[in-house]
Amino acid sequence: MKENSVSGQMLNLGGYIKAVKERIRQLEGEQFGLRLWRKDPGLWKADQENQEAIRNALGWLHVTGKMEDSLHDLLNFVGEVRAAGFRHVVHMGMGGSSLAPLTFQRIFPRIAKGLPLTVLDTTDPATILKIEEEIPIRETLFINASKSGTTAEPFAFGEYFYAKVKELKGHRAGDNFAAITDPGTPLVKLAKERGFCRIFPGFKDIGGRFSALSLFGLLPVALMGINVAELLSRAGQMIRACGPSVPVQENPGVVLGVVMGELSLRGRDKLTFLMPESIVSFGLWVEQLIAESTGKEGKGILPVDAEPPGSASEYGEDRLFVHIRLKDEIDKSLEQLVGELQKAGQPCVSIRIDDRLDLAQEFFRWEVATATAGAILRINPFDQPNVQESKDYTNRLLDLVRKDGKLPEAAAALIEGSLSFYTEEKDRNVKDLLKTFLAKARPGDFFALQAYLSEEPPVTQALQNIRKRLRDRLGLATTLGYGPRFLHSTGQFHKGGPNTGMFLQLTADDAADAPIPGAPYTFGLFKKAQALGDLEALKKHGRRVIRVHLGNNVIKELEILSKLFKDALG
């Protein structure tokens, strides 16, 4: 298919093009575009319970109009923040309430008139202590973002920094806080009690991962100094291109969703993103959108984000590639790889964006595509039934901490120096243990690294080295997620999607810890409980998983682990 001039989207699907065209004709006959905009839940499910939930989850289709109406108020607030002398912003959230701001914070350069933004979405104590050390606490605005107003992580972040501000400003501490949450939540009550400077209401009919173009995404972006009016204008272009009267074959969002859904039904369920380094962080947002929306009922599309590029011969036949390119920042090595992939018969979607502000239109394109793919898979893309599981296991473990003062933990199966291996395998040495585990890999599987570690460039590079080795030797798609962030992202796919995952959970000793005010446990203990809770949930679903606990020299120990994998792979 040729490039759509409005959307910059081109398809090179090889032998799959016939099936995609047939599905497009089917959706056109079913008036898919019109029914989507009419919020017809029958596109996804037939039962009454699901239909009611879906009907109340489609507010994202119209959110930009609401945001345009409230733009004046939003910009007035930004002016008030600057006039009050604030010099920094910390956005505290998890999953859908934090990933859009994190995407903008990592992709956009610092704007002179804007405030520097820090996004806090980890219970890692080293990260929290580092933020505390680097920001001017008295002149920092803290945004507590939680749709439900009950999410445990942002609540803990808020308690920690409220206590720090209160030490400096006493009863005026609330002046340094704002909240984004749905009306009537416990966070609204807390914000009123503490005198937050502002409470921004969310929309009850927009789920967290579909909220990028609502206040959850746009408030911190406006404070950064990014032109929100232009973002909404760019999003509007894609909205019109995906509008209810647009034929399906000309609708870039629906067509992309058809490609995703149709190819996943044919085994191409590893949606692999290829992006230049300057915009690679967009993958964090789209990863959650796709994985959490489609990974359920034993089905799903696995987004493969930021995997180290390989040669065309190193990829299996379970991939669909998406190449997102910036018009004036061409990555020649990626262009060459995409050309090789197409010659090798790998299906590819290419999307060209003019500049970083076009990310606003990408949010909407991918929301429509994900909703469309969900309809083809016959699942409800707007719920997340397995996310709560890990939370329940974590809460159960934290209840034991309250009772016993510590976490229960099984004995290590094997210890190699400073590395402890937790698995049900009964091998005599680590090499055999890893060989036994890796031998369980099957064609079409994926390998997920789950890192409950401090997210720092040397750590990421060491993990990427392990990831590349596993991909090249096993021939499997690989993913990397930092915990607990991925619990609100790919975590749904891990438990609710197909049983095709191999999981390596990595934990480590914390060099320093930080208390959570009002809780009988620290952030370090909270993070460990989240890891163990997720481990328990994976085992419950019969997933293949091994946990490796590192000591306190994470980089060195990851290098040792990489060598152990090399030896086991032969």
Q: Is the pLDDT of residue 4 over 80?
A: no
- State what percent of residues in the chain have pLDDT above 70: 99
- How many Cα atoms are found within 13 Å in the side-chain-facing hemisphere of 459? 18
- How many Cα atoms are found within 13 Å in the side-chain-facing hemisphere of 6? 17
State pTM to two decimals: 0.96
Q: What is the pLDDT of residue 414?
A: 95
Q: What is the rounded average pLDDT for all residues in the chain?
A: 95
Q: What is the pLDDT of residue 6?
A: 53
For 244, 360, 396, 421, the CA distances from 7, given in Å and listed in that order, are 16, 12, 47, 48
> Is 70-226 in CATH node 2.102.10.10?
no
| Rg from Cα positions in the chain | 23
Domain chopping of the chain, boundaries: 9-46+244-377, 70-226, 387-569
Q: How confident is the model at residue 12 (pLDDT cuts 50, 70, 90)?
A: very high
Mean pLDDT of the region 133-146: 98
Query: Which residues sit opposite 365 in a β-bridge?
Result: none
User: Which runs of E-coded beta strand occur in 445-526?
Assistant: 446-451, 477-482, 501-507
Q: How confident is the model at residue 387 (pLDDT cuts 50, 70, 90)?
A: confident
Q: How far apart are CA 301 and CA 40, in angstroms?
A: 23
- For 159-181, the pLDDT digits (tens) are 999 999 999 999 999 999 999 99
Residues in the chain: 570
CATH number of 9-46+244-377: 3.40.50.10490
Q: Is the pLDDT of residue 343 over 50?
A: yes
- For 257-306, the pLDDT digits (tens) are 999 999 999 999 999 999 999 999 999 999 999 999 999 999 999 999 99
Q: Could you tell me if 484 and 123 are in contact, meaning their C-beta atoms sit under 8 angstroms apart? A: yes
CATH number of 387-569: 3.40.50.10490
9-46+244-377 and 70-226 share one CATH topology? yes
Q: What is the pLDDT of residue 297?
A: 97
Mean pLDDT of the region 28-56: 96
Nearest by Cα to 323 from 357, 342, 351: 351
Block residue for tokens 């481990």: 535
Q: Is the pLDDT of residue 226 over 50?
A: yes
Q: How confident is the model at residue 3 (pLDDT cuts 50, 70, 90)?
A: very low
Q: Tell me, what DSSP letter sits at residue 478?
A: E
- For 505-563, the pLDDT digits (tens) are 999 999 999 999 999 999 999 999 999 999 999 999 999 999 999 999 999 999 999 99
Q: Is the pLDDT of residue 197 over 50?
A: yes
Q: What is the pLDDT of residue 233?
A: 97
